[in-house]
């Protein structure tokens, strides 16, 4: 038979306090942790022609941001809806989500899709409602 100790009750209480906001209001927690400012057009436009690291689960690739464009049929210069194009130095990763990193740049997750057979050019679409 297992006995309940004061230490185990304190651990359970601490865990409950830590998980409370997530369990009671998951949409508020998601809004707090999904920062739309990470996906603002001007943040990327300021770094056009700069190099980034694309960090995957097993490997990292170097790529350069070559363009920030309007989405087809979207509003011109929309700050929250745009397309990014990256060019890898060599053959890049497969389609998937990668962590975009650069010194002085908050790491940002992007879903990248190769746009050529050699996997050197990649597109990422950012579309969110402000």
DSSP-derived pairing of the beta strands 60-69 and 81-88? antiparallel
Same domain, 44 and 54: yes
Same domain, 27 and 51: no
Residue 88: give its domain's CATH number: 2.40.10
CA distances from 94 to 25, 43, 52, 91, 122 (A): 35, 25, 17, 9, 10
The SS3 assignment for 25 reads coil
The SS3 assignment for 70 reads coil
Same domain, 57 and 105: yes
- The whole-angstrom separation of Cα 82 and Cα 76 is 9
Same domain, 18 and 48: no
Same domain, 59 and 28: no
Same domain, 6 and 49: no
- The whole-angstrom separation of Cα 128 and Cα 40 is 9
Structure confidence at residue 74 (pLDDT): 86
Q: Which domain holds residue 45?
A: 36-127
The pTM is what?
0.70
Same domain, 58 and 120: yes
Same domain, 27 and 48: no
Same domain, 67 and 95: yes
- The whole-angstrom separation of Cα 41 and Cα 79 is 5
Same domain, 61 and 7: no
Same domain, 69 and 7: no
CB 66 within 8 A of CB 87: yes
The domain total for the chain is 2
Same domain, 5 and 62: no
pLDDT in tens, the chain (130 residues): 567 676 665 565 555 555 555 455 545 444 444 566 899 999 999 999 999 999 999 999 999 999 999 999 889 999 999 999 999 989 999 999 999 999 999 999 999 999 999 999 999 999 987 6
């Amino acid at each position: 038979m297992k006995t309940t100790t004061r230490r185990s009750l304190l651990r359970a209480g601490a865990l409950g306090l830590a998980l409370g906001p997530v369990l009671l209001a998951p949409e508020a927690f998601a809004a707090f942790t999904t920062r739309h400012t990470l996906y603002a057009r001007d943040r990327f436009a300021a770094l056009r022609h700069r190099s980034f690291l694309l960090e995957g689960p097993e490997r990292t690739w170097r790529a350069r941001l070559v363009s920030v464009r309007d989405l087809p049929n979207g509003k011109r210069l929309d700050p929250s809806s745009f397309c990014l194009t990256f060019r890898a130095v060599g053959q890049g990763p497969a389609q998937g989500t990668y962590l975009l990193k650069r010194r002085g740049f908050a790491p940002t997750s992007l879903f990248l899709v190769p746009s050529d057979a050699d996997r050197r050019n990649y597109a990422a679409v950012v579309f969110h409602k402000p």
